[in-house]
Structure 1
Amino acid sequence: MMSEALFYDTLREGLWTGFVVAIPILTVALTVGLAIGLFQALTSIQEMTLTFVPKLAAIIAVFWGTMNFMSETLVSFFQATLIPVIIGG
């Protein structure tokens, strides 16, 4: 049976790992969104695809570039934290 402290520690570490993995994508999405919003405000162009397509392309590019980091981070979290908890060690 899992103790309450172990449960919360595992939950905290899982949330932190998810945060660290999501930071690159969220940062790029925010930066590109702000740049496109500024461009739209300066030019008075209000096209919905103007915000969606470049942001999606930037997110895919960052995901592609950080895929190795994300995979290694998640695998190390599973190996160091979740698998021992599942096994009971």
Structure 2
Amino acid sequence: MDEVIFFDTLRQGLWISVKISMPILAVALVVGLAIGLFQALTSVQEMTLTFVPKLAAILGVFWATMGFMTQTLTSFFTDQLVPLMIGG
């Protein structure tokens, strides 16, 4: 396999991993900031207050974007990786 093809495929795979993880990471960031602001304003320093809502938000976003993630990974596999494995 040529180095150019290898590095291009690696770059595309990394970009796809960024695309499919961005909704989850963005929601975790927003929820974490909101809870941190709430804790700073109310002086409530409970560890479960940060963990449980963030986990629930992440699970909700994962459930909502699961179709997009699956479709993106499947299309990358069938359009990019399978032709490389076959040799075409």
> Which interval holds the TM-score relative to the shorter structure?
over 0.9
Distance 1:83 1:18 in 2: 18
**Per-residue Cα deviation, 1:51-79 (whole angstroms, up to 9, x for no partner):** 00000000000000011111000000001
In the alignment, which residue of structure 2 is the partner of 1:25? 24
TM-score by length of 1: 0.96
Deviation at 1:80, TM superposition (A): 0.7
Task: Name the count of aligned residue pairs.
Answer: 88
**Unaligned 5+ runs, structure 1:** none
Distance 2:52 2:16 in 1: 28
- The amino acid that maps onto 1:5 is V
Runs of 4+ in structure 1 off by over 2 angstroms are: none
In the alignment, which residue of structure 2 is the partner of 1:36? 35
**Unaligned 5+ runs, structure 2:** none
**Per-residue Cα deviation, 1:3-62 (whole angstroms, up to 9, x for no partner):** 100000000000010000001000000000000000011111111110000000000000
Distance 1:78 1:40 in 2: 44
